[in-house]
């Protein structure tokens, strides 16, 4: 686990990018670390672009803006294209290849592509591609203790959707194994 990690989660509104970022942020909070979660979205909540920046650190965070992320999670091609060049050398991009066809050609970063939407749908977890990607992100960059992810899921999932907790845990596991 690194001292500080800066991440950007990006996709279309309604894909759960803000929720994915919130999940990572809560994991940092649960472990008593410094956290910043900064959402950004277009005028349409669903269908427009949405992204968020997350920083987890052991020291105070100077700004919520993440200009050169260590990690990018891209849920569609426009988001991948927008953020891939900003990733720090040595960084990681996790992309949903169900929606991202061109994984670029940077050789100074690690690009991990998995068909998260397809994986989620085949497991009867439609709408949880974002959580499958979070599982894959964790496998590539363990930003917290493994048990913290379940605690963060329990904290992030609203009480009216508590029945989704086990499905989200299953989606995380599928992503870790992908």
Domains of the chain as residue ranges with CATH: 4-177 (3.40.920.10)
Burial 18-54 (b: 16+ CB within 10 A, else e): bbbbbbbbbbbbbbebebbbbeebeeeeeeebbbbbb
**125 pLDDT higher than 80:** yes
Strand ranges, E, within the chain: 4-12, 34-41, 49-57, 71-74, 92-96, 110-114
Q: What is the mean pLDDT of residues 134-163?
A: 94
**pTM for the predicted model, two decimal places:** 0.93
Among 87, 13, 89, 90, CA closest to 52: 13
Q: What is the mean pLDDT of residues 31-35?
A: 97
pLDDT category of residue 41 using cuts at 50, 70 and 90: confident
pLDDT score for 1:
44
**What share of the chain in percent tops pLDDT 90?**
85
Two structure tokens written together for 95: 């992309």
**127 pLDDT higher than 50:** yes
**What share of the chain in percent tops pLDDT 70?**
95
**Helix/strand/coil for 80:** helix
Q: Which residue has the higher pLDDT, 104 or 118?
A: 118
**110 pLDDT higher than 70:** yes
pLDDT category of residue 43 using cuts at 50, 70 and 90: low
Q: What is the mean pLDDT of residues 140-165?
A: 93
**45 pLDDT higher than 50:** yes
Kindly report, residue by residue over 155-166, the tens digit of the pLDDT: 999 889 988 999
pLDDT score for 44:
53
**46 pLDDT higher than 60:** no
Asked if residue 140 lies in contact with residue 176, where contact means CB atoms within 8 angstroms, the answer is: no
């Amino acid at each position: 686990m690194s001292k500080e990690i800066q991440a950007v989660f990006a996709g279309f509104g309604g894909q759960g990018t803000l929720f994915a970022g919130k999940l990572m942020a809560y994991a940092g909070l649960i472990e008593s670390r410094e956290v910043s979660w900064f959402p950004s979205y277009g005028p349409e909540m669903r269908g427009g672009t949405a992204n968020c920046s997350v920083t987890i650190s052991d020291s105070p965070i100077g700004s919520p803006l993440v200009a050169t992320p260590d990690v990018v999670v891209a849920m569609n091609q426009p988001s991948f294209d927008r953020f891939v060049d900003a990733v720090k050398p040595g960084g990681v991009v996790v992309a949903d290849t169900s929606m991202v066809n061109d994984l670029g050609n940077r050789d100074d970063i690690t690009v991990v592509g998995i068909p998260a939407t397809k994986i989620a749908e085949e497991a009867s977890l439609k709408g949880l591609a974002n959580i499958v990607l979070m599982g894959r992100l964790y496998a590539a960059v363990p930003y917290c203790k493994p048990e913290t992810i379940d605690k963060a899921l329990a904290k992030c999932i609203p009480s009216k959707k508590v029945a989704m907790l086990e499905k989200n845990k299953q989606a995380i596991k599928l992503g870790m194994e992908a």
